[in-house]
Amino acid sequence: MSSLKFEINRFSGHSNFSIWKIQMMALLQRECLIHTIDGKYPDDTSDYDKEKVEGDVLSVI
């Protein structure tokens, strides 16, 4: 299985935010990180795991 590379240009404030947001949501979904947007973690998720996932999201963004 090959890994697909997906790049999104940084949001500069001059481009279309709506398109950037859709692209970012798709990327987070692909990386299984979309749940961090609404903060709905499974009940048994430790604070350490939440911090790690949120760090992963920040590195993706």
Q: What pLDDT score was predicted for residue 13?
A: 77
The single-letter DSSP state of residue 23 is: H
Which residues are CB-contacts of 15 (< 8 A; sequence separation ≥ 6)? 9
pLDDT value, residue 47: 92
For 2-58, the pLDDT digits (tens) are 455 667 777 777 778 888 888 888 888 888 888 888 888 888 989 999 999 889 888
Stated as kind and residue range, the H or E segment containing 37 is helix 35-38
Cα–Cα dist 30/56, whole Å: 13
Give the pLDDT confidence score for residue 2 in this predicted structure: 43
Residue 35's closest CA among 12, 53, 16? 53
